[in-house]
Structure formats: structure tokens, C-alpha cells
Amino acid sequence: MKVMSVKSSHRAADDTVLRAADALRAGKLVGLPTETVFGIAASMTQASGMQSLKDALEIKGHPGWVIHIPSAASVAGFVSHVPPLARRLIRRLWPGPVSIQLPVDHADVERLASRLGRQTAAEAMVEGFLTFRCTEIELTRDILHSSGEPVTVVGVTTHQRVDVAEDLPKSLLQKLSVVVAGPAPRYKNPSTLVRIAGHHLEVVREGAIAERVIRRLEDMVIVFVCSGNTCRSPMAAGLATRILSETLHIPIAELPNAHVLVRSAGVHAARGMPAAPEAVKIAGEMGADIHQHRSVPLTDDLLRRADMIYTMTQAHRDEIISHAPLMAEKTFTLDPDGDIEDPIGKGEQVYRRTAQRIEKLIRNRVAELEL
């Protein structure tokens, strides 16, 4: 069999996509590249193809098929509820070498069985979870999308690890309808396997992406920004913490366990300054304890970690984007209709009106979040 290379032209790439997609729909086996290993793919709706896959790779027992999908949106076709924690990791890690296990309910199981047949559906589930992966190899994702089929891809490791199509043993090559050439894998380890249920994350298998990296990415980080980080932004962080606690129906102390972190910083802040006494008093009256707050400057690390950044003025937002243009898509003024002026030196009544306005705006912003 000729290995199909797509280096020559877009037309060749299109032809490869169509031929591979047609083969999958017909229940044939297709060789596909991923960023961790070269794999053999089969449509999970075709019983003959799944049996051919087992025979070709000598798979026995309960394989726990990994469903390879062309985009994150495809998960919704299998699982009725994707926890917010899973949505965050999917957004940050896909496409990429991370397989994610999600729980399925009874209705999901019945739909899966209807779509795949009960045997394949049962073999795909592991302890009530389905496993998904979205490879970073664009050509493979294009083939998956074009096929319109739920597809599993199994790495070729029966005898020895196969990284590229040219290394396939002849005995296996003869069993494949289409073989798609691709780059050598970027990673020498298998994909990292993560299991998510509600707010709980378990790294089942550490692979291409280290567990410490996964742990760093699981939190939702919300950052409030003003100038000196002693008035507006600490009040906003304190009030947001209280509102999030109420929204999630958990104590404030439990927010980190739910992977929700609220931070504040200043674009011109000195480090270690306490919050203004008026800010501490008014925030306390409104159920937000910020007496231990100490100011911090806004750093590149905090900008990168943040999911959402809310600034008190348009000038703050402009300064952030001027420094880090990629932050534009997640940086917003807390009030979309105008600036929240600095109350420093203007007395408790101004602080109170400012805090009340901030509280109302935060409630609107929290309603927009995926919690």
C-alpha cells in the first residue's frame, strides 16, 4: 500500500481527507498520525471495523476505547453535562496530548448504545466514564470531522512503538485501507489521562503533560485591577469572593477546593500596602473581610493565569493590552458603560457608593461565568 503524503499541495491534502473519511465510514481501518504516536483508526459505529481493529492490534478484554474528536464542541454529542472544571481544561489543553474522562449518566449510556451498539458502547466506558481526545494534528482532525463518525484511534505498540507511517510493519500495513503520513510525534510519552467528576480532578496517568502543569491549569482565576490596589480592586475581590460563595452555595474557605480563585492587583501598585481604612470598613459592612489585604503589582504571570480580568477604568484595560496584546480577549472593564473612579481621600460615603456599584456590577459579571 502507498502511504499518502500531503506535503505537495492543498489538493493532495483534500484528497487524503476525503479518502480517509470515506474509508472510516465504510468500516475500514485507517492509519493516522497523532502528536504522541502513530495510530490505527476505526469508526465506532461499524462493528466490522471495530473487530478488524481488535484483530489487527491483537486487542483483547475491555479496551476502554478513546473517542477521538475533531473539536471540543464534539463532546456535547456524547455527554449531556460537561463540568465547568472540564470545560476550563478542555479550553486550555485541547487540541493537545491530554485525554479527558467524563462521567456519563443513564441517558448518555442509552444514546451511546443506540449509536454504537451495546458491545462497543460498553467497551468504550471505564467505570462510568467516557474518554475523549482532541489531537493537535490538524490533518487528523480534518479527517475526523469529514467522516462525521465517532472514531477511536489506537497507538501502534503491539510489537514496538511506531512513530511514523513508514515504520508500520508490513503485516499491519496490509490491513489498512488508507495510511496518512504525518510528522514525527512531538512527544515521546503517551497522552496524559485525566478524570473529572464535578469539582474533582484525578490524573490517572501522567504522560506528555506533567501533573504539575495540569494542576496549575485547573483553577478559574478572576482578577480585579485598579491603580494602587488599595481601594477599588481589593473591595471588588472581597465582594466577588462573597458573591461566588453564595452562588456556588459553599463557604468562602471552600472556594479553592472548587477551583475558584479571586485575586486583585494594581497596574501601578507598590507591594505590601494595606487596604485603605475606608475600604476595609465599607467592605466589612457588606460581608467582605479584606483587613488582611496587602497590595501587589499586576504581573505577567497573573495575567497569563487569569481566566477573566476586570479593570476599574478603560485606561487600566488599555494599559494591560498595550503591555500584553494577547490579554485583550479576556480583559474587560468591570462596568461596560463607564469608569469606576478612585474614591481615595473622598470620605466614607463615596467609598460606600463605589462599593455598592461594584457589588451590583460583579453580580452581573458572575452571571456570565461558567461556574
Alpha helices in the chain (DSSP H): 10-25, 47-57, 84-93, 106-116, 118-124, 138-147, 170-173, 211-217, 232-248, 277-285, 300-305, 314-323, 348-368
Please confirm, yes or no, whether 226 is among the known catalytic residues.
yes
What is the Cα gyration radius of the chain?
Answer: 25
Contact present, 39 and 155 (Cβ < 8 Å): yes
Separation of alpha carbons 80 and 122, rounded Å: 18
CA distances from 299 to 192, 215, 242, 306 (A): 29, 20, 25, 11
Q: Catalytic pick from 108, 141, 226, 317?
A: 226
* Closest residue by Cα to residue 220 from 192, 201, 234: 201
Q: Catalytic pick from 232, 242, 263, 317?
A: 232
Q: Catalytic pick from 342, 352, 357, 363?
A: 342
Q: Please return the burial class of 202, using the count of CB atoms within 10 Å of its CB with bins 0-12, 13-18 and 19+.
A: exposed
Q: Residue written as cell 506528555?
A: 208
Please confirm, yes or no, whether 134 is among the known catalytic residues.
no
Catalytic residues: 226, 232, 342
